Structure 1
């Protein structure tokens, strides 16, 4: 009899795990109540990137005259039309996932489930499913601080945005992290007056400081106001909108408020104690490098573990879990080498250590940078904002980190992912001949700049 794996949750960790387990010969039952594809497809990655694509086209149309293209008449923005396109993409991809699962003969139960023990999942609609192993992939949800008056319309999380029937004239975004920054650029492109309110001095503070500083500059160029350096103490709903109060700073008013202050694991309804599964203070399920929980027959992957809350990390973790369950000699994931793809304007792609993180670890580094404006391709595209930065070990020359900001940065960064994964030196990266004219030349120029040898940079 094949090993029976029950997968709880159908997001990037869950459905990928189910497909991989079936591929390796397991019998698979997938229990999911929130829609195949999870938050990533229905409320996160895909909807926001579809909106980013619409906004990018809108920005290009606004700048068409620079390219000798005349557009007669006004360029109108239809929020309902943009949402219709979002839902078209969601439905297409959800149908694709369903087709893949059907093709693999995976049983899908559209229901909520929780643990009865280490082998059994109880279904909300009645009955139970028993298997050899349970893999929990229930994802995460936006944090909703109790002090804020969420109502689903005026004060919202990112989950609520796709239910708006219209756009606000002004928006206060609470939080300065990656999700907050992505939405700031989206709504600014759509004509909304945006203010980002954060605790830190720079937006996206988890990034390399040089990148965050350029991001702040680009925010200002887009008309986005950034008010950092103090926590938000309250959001007050008024007849004409909201008032946001920061400690020791002037009040900020807007028509609506979007709260982006992190995500928390979806574990509170799983009855983890029934199987002896340990969790942390935020509800994250504690796992080892092979995604095993404290119960030998229960594994967990993705956001519910609270480790690396990224869709592609979730999928990779799910595959490791499945391979360990089925004795296929999995390799543990080096989470320090998982890339980030950030869809601000311009995009940001990064992997490995920032200069600041290397310093905190006591590693002496040498860094090289190169501005996108120095590239012929960037000039030809009219996309000159941004930079590339390489962080290298000063003693060994090994590439420790790469940070790219500019057009298509989320694609370009992957050559650095491979370089870091393979332990390449910065000299090897610099010697790799890059085609001209391309945006990827920024990476080799930054690598050459580690030695002060970037030919197209004014020293």
Structure 2
């Protein structure tokens, strides 16, 4: 039987990091590739995520750095901050990066459609704006995720809030902001706006921020928020948001009220599959609309794959890129492989920031029983003259039976830079003895990772 003629060998739905990488690699391997993106090329990371967020983190740190420079002999005159000027510069860089994504795809030979693609069946897509029908032998879903907010029935007045997508469009700073949530997005933006001089209150339903991270890391970040001047209210939910002559009045389930000019809802994300037509294509979805895949990123439909946040495996940009690359190499490059999701180094750009790789102490105890813990907390050399009392925290989680390092956790300046290197050691299966044999770089904060020798023993009460 003759195989049907398709318009494309591969059609990618979504022009984010994972989809663009997959499309480019497949096109370079000789496949006829089409990519549909309904908004702007670059996806969450470039347009409304990692990249503009990191610029905002940098902006929020400069004021503190200027103040601390006096301890090193600098005399600084009048200091002011122009948020509109910063936002203009940030968007110019985002535009530049988005154009690079577009250019790289076209240079590889892929065809780009600035439109929303929806399934008609497993091999057929309809472009929503143009109504064009497209067929493809293989299809990759790379539509990412989007912020989740409760419905007006669940939280009256929620329509008066903004999401993390909207933060980057704020041309002026509010005087007061309430951040709802305790995950990394909530924590990062609470620090950002506090650093820019906004009066910030963070409200979280849990007892400590960053659920899922190592407990010592969570406590250090929680304390860091308070030290940054953020008012932290835990074990509390928002029940109603009302517009008033003085901004917004936020009612809490503890009976209290918080006044704010802006309420940022950072209470979770969900897979961006609504209205995609996955049912028509035979693609099974799971909780929060995620696309269910196997380790090869294959969906329940034999000719359809999915990568990135839409699968809700590990929702990080570098992971989406690796998953997309693995898919393209496997299906079009003759080099089959799949991405191993174990021991992925990651960072939270709180202030001080978090770098972590591997598993937490509690996870290690559940999995392996007997473990060794090494940890240290110290005031970095840089802070000895500038008056900053912030301390750096480091922790190693080690399996007692063979001294394999199971987790490395850092809270402190440049934690993200350090954890990238520690991630290499973890991926290679490094032991505590390997860390001990490594000569320190002195003077540096990172040297503490290879000089911790004393096992931590919990206090007996």
Q: TM-score, normalised by structure 1?
A: 0.92
1:324-368 deviations in whole A, cap 9, x for unaligned?
Answer: 323634433332312221111111111110112223435322111
Further displaced range: 249-258 or 390-399: 249-258
Pick one of 339, 346, 349 that aligns with 2:352: 346
Partner of 1:141: 146
Secondary structure at the counterpart of residue 312 of structure 1: helix
Structure 2 unaligned residues grouped into runs of 5+: none
Partner of 2:364: 358
Aligned pairs for 1:36-435 within 5 A = 36-73=41-78, 75-124=79-128, 125-146=130-151, 147-148=154-155, 149-151=157-159, 154-326=160-332, 328-373=334-379, 375-376=380-381, 379=384, 385-435=391-441
Q: Is the 8 A contact 2:118 2:276 kept in 1?
A: yes
CA distance in 1, matches of 2:446, 2:337: 30
Cα distance change of structure 1 residues 330 and 364 upon mapping to structure 2, 3 Å threshold: farther
CA distance in 1, matches of 2:430, 2:385: 31
Secondary structure at the counterpart of residue 335 of structure 1: coil
Cα distance change of structure 1 residues 96 and 380 upon mapping to structure 2, 3 Å threshold: farther
Instruction: Please state how far the C-alpha of 1:67 moved relative to its aligned partner.
Output: 1.4
CA distance in 1, matches of 2:56, 2:430: 36
Cα distance change of structure 1 residues 276 and 256 upon mapping to structure 2, 3 Å threshold: same
Cα distance change of structure 1 residues 92 and 382 upon mapping to structure 2, 3 Å threshold: farther
Cα distance change of structure 1 residues 381 and 401 upon mapping to structure 2, 3 Å threshold: farther
CA distance in 1, matches of 2:369, 2:100: 45
CA distance in 1, matches of 2:346, 2:141: 24
1:384-413 deviations in whole A, cap 9, x for unaligned?
Answer: 532111111111111111111111111110
Partner of 1:455: none
CA distance in 2, matches of 1:426, 1:451: 14
Instruction: Please state how far the C-alpha of 1:450 moved relative to its aligned partner.
Output: 4.1
Instruction: Please state how far the C-alpha of 1:101 moved relative to its aligned partner.
Output: 1.5
Instruction: Please state how far the C-alpha of 1:66 moved relative to its aligned partner.
Output: 1.4
Instruction: Please state how far the C-alpha of 1:378 moved relative to its aligned partner.
Output: 6.3
Structure 1 unaligned residues grouped into runs of 5+: 453-459
Instruction: Please state how far the C-alpha of 1:377 moved relative to its aligned partner.
Output: 5.8
Aligned length: 447
Superposition RMSD in Å: 2.1
CA distance in 1, matches of 2:424, 2:70: 39
Instruction: Please state how far the C-alpha of 1:430 moved relative to its aligned partner.
Output: 2.1
CA distance in 2, matches of 1:249, 1:431: 56
Q: Is the 8 A contact 2:211 2:218 kept in 1?
A: yes
Cα distance change of structure 1 residues 70 and 109 upon mapping to structure 2, 3 Å threshold: same
Matched, 1:12 2:17: yes
Which of 1 and 2 has higher RCO (CA within 8 Å, sep 6+)? 2
Q: Is the 8 A contact 1:377 1:439 kept in 2?
A: no
